[in-house]
Amino acid sequence: MADPEYWTTEEVAGYLGVTTSSVRAYLASNRMPAPDQKYGVTNLWRPETIKEWQANRPHKGQVQQ
């Protein structure tokens, strides 16, 4: 079985429609999942991790329950 595909910070930013600086800020403030894997200093996430988090995170204007 092949290894799963991983997204870099740049790919996560592209998927979310934000800058890489925003992704780094989310990560630094624990507002997004920790990387599934690291390759040197490169953070890597499984697409499923980001998609699930995005689907369930509060968005601007939403009230958390």
What pLDDT tens digit does each residue of the chain (65 aa) get? 334 699 999 999 999 999 999 999 999 999 999 999 999 999 999 999 999 999 998 776 555 44
Interior angle at CA 43, CA 39 and CA 45, nearest 5: 105
* Angle of the 47-56 helix axis to the 9-16 helix axis, nearest 10: 40
Task: Tell me how far apart the alpha carbons of residues 46 and 31 are, in angstroms, rounded to a whole number.
Answer: 17
- Category of 64 on φ-ψ map: left (φ > 0), alpha (ψ -120 to 50) or beta: beta
Q: Report pLDDT for 52.
A: 96
Q: Report pLDDT for 1.
A: 35
Bridge partner residues of 31 (DSSP): none
Q: Report pLDDT for 2.
A: 38
Tokens of 36: 């599934």
How is the chain split into domains, by residue range?
Answer: 9-55
